[in-house]
Amino acid sequence: MSNAHGSEPHGENTSGAKQRVAVIGFIVIAVLGMAIAVYASRFVPGAISGLAGAGAYVSNLFILEDGENEPVIEEEPTPEPVVEEPVIEEEPQEEPEEEPTTPARPATPVYSGLSDLTVAISAVGYCTTGAQNSLVASDVVPDNARYGGVRFTVTNIGTNVSGPWAFAIETASSPSDSYEYNGQTSLAPGQSTVGTMCFPRGVRANDGEVVVTVDSQNRVVESNERNNEDSEDLEIESWED
């Protein structure tokens, strides 16, 4: 008795539990369906429009020509290479050498008339060594100087060449002494020459005179024969050895 009574309540509890599970499952399915519907209404149209825009963008990358189905891709033109022209440096051309020209000989001047030699003493004095370049201008030959000296200039102031000429010098020494020099070079009109002579002082003191005479042999034809001589006083002191 007790076992039959105990089995009936257990069957009723099982059927009630199944009913409750079925109701919960239905509710869950309904909630999921509503969520899917809301998601589809919000996100699917945007995704479709995005796909359509992407399709339009892709179609713009291709251009169909003459009904052909193959797309023609426009390529950017390849720039032509720039070729620079070579710069050729020209070698400097050597200037042709000028042929040496023979200088024209100056025409020989033609003189006329007569020459005129004149002489002028520029200095008297003493020479320290006897050489011409040692002449010291002075009015006195000192007692310790061995040589007297004279410097003079000969000039042709005429209008023609002089030809060879000579000159003579009379010193101021005592005893008196003189020298003559021949074969001097011809002087053209206006040309000059300078002469220097150192001469022995002599053995005695003397207040002498140095005399220079040009054209001393009187061989030059001159327009004036009175200007061929010049003189200067020169004192010679006593010699002390």
Query: Which amino acid, 187?
Result: L
pTM above 0.85, yes or no: no
* 87 falls within a domain: no
Return all residues near 165 (Cβ < 8 A) that are at least 6 apart.
117, 154, 184, 186, 187, 214, 215, 219, 220
* 142 falls within a domain: yes
SS3 of residue 44 by DSSP: helix
**For residues 124 and 220, what is the distance between their CA atoms, to the nearest angstrom?**
27
Which among 152, 149, 196, 154 has a CA at the least distance from the CA of 172?
149
Query: Which amino acid, 175?
Result: P
**For residues 114 and 134, what is the distance between their CA atoms, to the nearest angstrom?**
37
Distance of CA 194 to the CA centre of its chain: 47
pLDDT the model gives residue 111: 94
Question: 226 and 153, same structural domain?
Answer: yes
Distance of CA 126 to the CA centre of its chain: 55
Number of domains within the chain: 2
* 139 falls within a domain: yes
**For residues 167 and 149, what is the distance between their CA atoms, to the nearest angstrom?**
16
Question: 56 and 126, same structural domain?
Answer: no
**For residues 241 and 229, what is the distance between their CA atoms, to the nearest angstrom?**
34
* 86 falls within a domain: no
Helix ranges restricted to H, 141-240: none
**For residues 122 and 201, what is the distance between their CA atoms, to the nearest angstrom?**
19
* Structure token pair of residue 46: 């945007």
Question: 134 and 50, same structural domain?
Answer: no
Name the residue range of residue 61's domain.
Answer: 1-65
* Structure token pair of residue 219: 């061989």
Question: 134 and 223, same structural domain?
Answer: yes
Question: 128 and 38, same structural domain?
Answer: no
* 60 falls within a domain: yes
Question: 158 and 223, same structural domain?
Answer: yes
Which among 185, 186, 213 has a CA at the least distance from the CA of 197?
213
CATH number of the domain where residue 211 is located: 2.60.40.10
**For residues 186 and 241, what is the distance between their CA atoms, to the nearest angstrom?**
43
**For residues 141 and 203, what is the distance between their CA atoms, to the nearest angstrom?**
12
Contact 167, 180 (CB under 8 A): yes
The C-alpha angle 193, 196, 199, rounded to 5 degrees, equals 150
What is the edge-to-edge ordering of all strands in the sheet holding 192-200?
A: 135-137, 117-127, 147-156, 192-200
Q: What is the pLDDT along the chain (241 residues), one digit of tens a residue?
A: 444 444 444 555 556 665 665 656 667 676 666 766 555 555 545 545 554 454 444 444 444 444 444 544 455 666 665 545 555 455 666 776 777 777 777 778 899 999 999 999 999 999 999 899 999 999 999 999 999 999 999 999 999 999 999 999 999 999 989 999 999 999 999 999 999 999 999 989 999 999 999 999 999 999 999 999 999 999 999 987 6
**For residues 220 and 111, what is the distance between their CA atoms, to the nearest angstrom?**
15
